[in-house]
Amino acid sequence: MAKITLDIPDGIMAKVADMVAARNGYREQVSDPNNPSATIPNPMSKAEFVKHVLIRFLKAEVRLGEHQEAIRKAQEQAAAVPDPDIT
């Protein structure tokens, strides 16, 4: 399996993780499944959350690209159909 590696300078890594997490709804505390009126520390770390955000982004880009390619091909096929012989 191929791997993608990102190099983020140490000096801005925390900022990058904080911003990606904040913009995508990460919370340090989540509802306690055993006591909905209480909260517990999020079992998913911020780093894991950011990784999931990036994976979702890449999957969405692939789906969008495939969709756009299918539209382009359908348009080309439709344009190649001769006009009906209407007089």
pLDDT band at 86 (very low <50, low <70, confident <90, very high): confident
The DSSP output letter for 24 is T
Give per-residue pLDDT as tens, 55-76: 999 999 999 999 999 999 999 9
Confidence check: pLDDT of 48 > 90: yes
Predicted pLDDT of residue 23: 98
- Beta carbons of 29 and 41 less than 8 angstroms apart: yes
Predicted pLDDT of residue 85: 85
Residues 6+ apart with CB under 8 A from 16: 8, 50
% of the chain residues with pLDDT over 90: 92
Predicted pLDDT of residue 24: 98
Predicted pLDDT of residue 83: 87
Number of CB atoms found within 10 A of residue 21's CB: 19
- Beta carbons of 48 and 77 less than 8 angstroms apart: no
Provide the whole-model pTM: 0.77
Give me the residues paired with residue 86 across strands: none
